[in-house]
C-alpha cells in the first residue's frame, strides 16, 4: 500500500547550500524496490508521486544544482552555470543562463528564454536569445559544434533535454533524490527564483500543524524502526520559520530532537532545523 504523504512549509535541502522550498505537497510515497518498505532514511529507496504541490527554488540554488548535479559528470559540455531573472524591465518574465563551454576555448555563452509548461507537464525554456563571445548566433548547438549525442545519457537521466534551441526541464528528475514526481501545471518567474505548481489535486494542509512532513498508511522504515499502518510526523521544534530538513542528514536531525507517542498510536518526531545543528 502506498504511504500518504503531506509536506507543509519545509525547506528541503537538495545538497549542502541548495534548497527546494515546499510550501504545500500532498501525494504518495512508494518504494523503488519491490517488496521493501519506504525507507525514509534512504533517499534512493522511494519516490513521492505528487497529487498537488506548490514549491519554489531560488536562482542560486538552481545554479548550484546544475553545476554539482545536472552537469557533474565526466565530459559535461558546460561549466560555471548561473541562472537569474532577465534584467531588462520589459523581459522580467524571462530567465538568463550564463556559463562556459568546456570544449575548445572555453567560450562564455548566455541564453535568454521564457519558461512555459509543455503539454506533458515539463518546463520548456523557449529561447529568445543565444549569445557567445558577445555575438548573436543562430543556434547554440550549431554555433558550438555540439551534436545531439553530446547531450544525451547523463543529462537525460538528470531531467534535461533539448528541442531545437529550447531547453526542456523535467522537474521530476531535475533535482537530486528523493525523487518527487509530478506534472508541472504552472511556472512563474520571480525576482528570487522560479515557483512551480504541480498536479491537479488540493495541496493545502488541513492538519492544523505548521512545518512538517507526515507519512501515513503503508509500511515505512527509519533505521531499525519499522511502522506498519504508518502514522509518522516529522515536525519543526521551532515553527517561526520553515523547517530546514536535509534527507541526507535525517538521522542526525532525529538524534537532536525528541519523540512523542500520540493517543492514536502514531509517532511524532520533533526536530531542530538542520542549520541549527550543522
Give tens-digit pLDDT for 107-155: 788 889 999 999 999 999 999 988 875 545 455 555 544 555 555 567 8
**Euclidean distance between CA atoms 275 and 253, whole angstroms:** 10
> Strand pairing partners for 244?
11
| 258 pLDDT tier (thresholds 50, 70, 90) | very high
Radius of gyration of the chain (CA): 20
Residue 87 and residue 165 in one domain: yes
Residue 42 and residue 126 in one domain: no
Residue 160 and residue 68 in one domain: yes
The pLDDT of residue 109 is 84
Segment 216-229 mean pLDDT: 96
Residue 29 · residue 43 · CB < 8 Å: no
Residue 93 · residue 71 · CB < 8 Å: no
Number of domains within the chain: 2
- Residue 190 inside a domain? The answer is no
- Residue 123 inside a domain? The answer is yes
Residue 155 and residue 91 in one domain: yes
- Residue 189 inside a domain? The answer is no
- Residue 133 inside a domain? The answer is yes
Residue 132 and residue 215 in one domain: no
Of 154, 156, 194, give the one whose Cα is nearest residue 172. Answer: 156
Residue 41 and residue 120 in one domain: no
Residue 107 and residue 27 in one domain: no
Helix/strand number for the chain, H first, E second: 5, 21
**Euclidean distance between CA atoms 25 and 50, whole angstroms:** 7
Residues 6+ apart with CB under 8 A from 225: none
**Euclidean distance between CA atoms 111 and 25, whole angstroms:** 32
> Strand pairing partners for 156?
none
User: Which residues span the domain enclosing 133?
Assistant: 60-169
Residue 75 and residue 9 in one domain: no
Q: How far is CA 5 from CA 49, 129, 203, 218, in A?
A: 9, 41, 11, 11
- Residue 194 inside a domain? The answer is no
Residue 35 and residue 84 in one domain: no
Last-in-domain residue among 169, 193, 209: 169
**What are the tens digits of pLDDT across the range 174-221?**
999 999 999 999 999 999 999 999 998 776 766 778 999 999 999 999
Question: In terms of DSSP H, where are the helices of the chain?
Answer: 59-65, 140-143, 154-157, 250-255, 274-277
- Cell numbers given for 82: 548561473
Residue 246 and residue 214 in one domain: yes
Give the rounded distance of the alpha carbon of 191 from its chain centre. 18
The pLDDT of residue 201 is 72
Question: In terms of DSSP H, where are the helices of 111-153?
Answer: 140-143
- Residue 180 inside a domain? The answer is no
Asked whether the whole model's pTM tops 0.75, one would answer yes
Phi-psi region of 141 (alpha: psi -120 to 50; beta: other; left: phi over 0): alpha
- Cell numbers given for 21: 522550498
Q: Considering only residues 64 and 74, tell me which one the structure prediction assigns the higher pLDDT.
A: 64
- Cell numbers given for 80: 560555471
- Residue 195 inside a domain? The answer is no
Last-in-domain residue among 169, 185, 212: 169
Amino acid at each position: 500500500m502506498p504511504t500518504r504523504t503531506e509536506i507543509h512549509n519545509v525547506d528541503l535541502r537538495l545538497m549542502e547550500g541548495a534548497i527546494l522550498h515546499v510550501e504545500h505537497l500532498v501525494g504518495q510515497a512508494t518504494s523503488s524496490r519491490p517488496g521493501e518498505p519506504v525507507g525514509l532514511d534512504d533517499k534512493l529507496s522511494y519516490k513521492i508521486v505528487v497529487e498537488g504541490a506548490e514549491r519554489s527554488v531560488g536562482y542560486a540554488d538552481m545554479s548550484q544544482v546544475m553545476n554539482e548535479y545536472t552537469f557533474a559528470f565526466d565530459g559535461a559540455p558546460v561549466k560555471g552555470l548561473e541562472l537569474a531573472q532577465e534584467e531588462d524591465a520589459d523581459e522580467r518574465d524571462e530567465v538568463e543562463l550564463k556559463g562556459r563551454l568546456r570544449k575548445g576555448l572555453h567560450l562564455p555563452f548566455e541564453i535568454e528564454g521564457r519558461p512555459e509548461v509543455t503539454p506533458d507537464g515539463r518546463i520548456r525554456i523557449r529561447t529568445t536569445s543565444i549569445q557567445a563571445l558577445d555575438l548573436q548566433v543562430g543556434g547554440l548547438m550549431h554555433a558550438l559544434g555540439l551534436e545531439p549525442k553530446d547531450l544525451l545519457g547523463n543529462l537525460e537521466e538528470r531531467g534535461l533535454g533539448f528541442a531545437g534551441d529550447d531547453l526542456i526541464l523535467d522537474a521530476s528528475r531535475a533535482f537530486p533524490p528523493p525523487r518527487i514526481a509530478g506534472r508541472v501545471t504552472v511556472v512563474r518567474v520571480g525576482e528570487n527564483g522560479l515557483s512551480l505548481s504541480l498536479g491537479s489535486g488540493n495541496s493545502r494542509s488541513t492538519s492544523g500543524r505548521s512545518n512538517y512532513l507526515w507519512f501515513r498508511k503503508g509500511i515505512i522504515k527509519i533505521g531499525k524502526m519499522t511502522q506498519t499502518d504508518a502514522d509518522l510526523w516529522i515536525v519543526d521544534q521551532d515553527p517561526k520559520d520553515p523547517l530546514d530538513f536535509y534527507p541526507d542528514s535525517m538521522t542526525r536531525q532525529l538524534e537532536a530532537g525528541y519523540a512523542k507517542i500520540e493517543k492514536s498510536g502514531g509517532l511524532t518526531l520533533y526536530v531542530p532545523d538542520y542549520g541549527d545543528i550543522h
